[in-house]
Amino acid sequence: MTYDERPLAISAPEPRTLDLIFTDEARKLLHAKYQIIEADPENIAGLGDGVLAMARYIIGQPPLSAGTVARMPELRCVLNVESNLINNMPYEILFQRGIHVVTTGQVFAEPVAEIGLGFALSLARDIIDQDLAFRRGRELWGGEGNASSRLIAGSEIGIIGFGDLGKALRRVLCGFRATIRVFDPWLPRSILEEHGVEAASLREVLTESDFVFVVAAVTSENKQFLNAEAFASMRPGSAFILLSRADVVDFDALMAAVASGHIVAASDVYPEEPLPLDHPVRSLKGFIRSAHRAGALDSAFKKMGDMVLEDMDLMDRGLPPMRCKRAERETVSRMRSKGVKIN
> Which DSSP letter does residue 270 get?
-
Q: Which is nearer to a second copy, 37 or 81 (CB)?
A: 81
Please identify which residue in 2, 5, 49, 141 interacts with a second copy, judged by CB under 8 A: 141
Taking the complex as a whole, the smallest distance from the CB of residue 128 to a second copy amounts, in Å, to 5
Q: Does 132 bind a second copy (CB under 8 A)?
A: yes
Q: Pick from 2, 24, 67, 190 the residue near a second copy by CB under 8 A.
A: 190
| 62 cis-preceded (ω within 30 degrees of 0) | no
Nearer to a second copy, 95 or 225 (CB): 95
Tell me how far apart the alpha carbons of residues 299 and 329 are, in angstroms, rounded to a whole number: 30
Give the residue with the Cβ less far from a second copy, 66 or 151: 151
Q: Of 228, 319, 338, 339, which lies in the binding site for a second copy, with binding defined by CB under 8 A? A: 319
> Binding to a second copy (CB under 8 A): which residues in 205-264?
none
CB of 174 to a second copy, least distance (A): 4
Q: Quickly count: other Cβ atoms within 10 Å of residue 220's Cβ.
A: 10
> Among 4, 42, 131, 229, which residue interacts with a second copy (rule: CB under 8 A)?
131
The answer to the question of residue 19 lying near a second copy (CB under 8 A) is no
Which residues are CB-neighbours of 329 under 8 A, at least 6 positions away? 91, 92, 95
Site membership for a second copy, residue 149 (CB under 8 A): yes
Q: How far apart are CB 145 and a second copy at their closest, in Å?
A: 4
- Span 264-303, contacts to a second copy by CB under 8 A: 273-274, 277, 282-283, 288-293, 296-299, 301
Burial environment of residue 173 by CB neighbours within 10 A (0 to 12, 13 to 18, 19 or more): buried
Distance CA 240, CA 256 (A): 13
Question: Stretches 51-59, 79-87, 240-248, 312-320: which one binds a second copy (CB under 8 A)?
Answer: 312-320
- CB 50 to a second copy: min, Å: 27
- Coil, strand, or helix at residue 150? coil
Within 155-174, the residues that bind a second copy by CB under 8 A are 171-174
CB of 282 to a second copy, least distance (A): 5
CA distance 250 to 77: 37
* 164: Cβ contacts below 8 Å, ≥ 6 apart: 105, 106, 108, 109, 325
How many chain residues interact with a second copy (CB under 8 A)? 85
Contacts of 293 (CB under 8 A, 6+ apart): 115, 268
Burial state string for 41-63 with b = 16 or more CB within 10 A and e = fewer than 16: beebeebeeebbebbbbbbbbbe
Residue 224 in contact with residue 250, Cβ under 8 Å? yes
> In what side-by-side order are the strands of the sheet with 100-103?
35-38, 8-12, 55-60, 77-80, 100-103, 325-326
Q: CB of residue 171 vs a second copy: minimum separation in angstroms? A: 4
Asked whether position 23 contacts a second copy by CB under 8 A, the answer is no
Residues 60-119 that bind a second copy (CB under 8 A): 95-98, 110-111, 114-115, 117-119
Is 67 or 137 the residue whose CB approaches a second copy more closely? Answer: 137
Closest C-alpha to 305, from 17, 8, 76: 17
Quick check: 322 binds a second copy (CB under 8 A)? yes
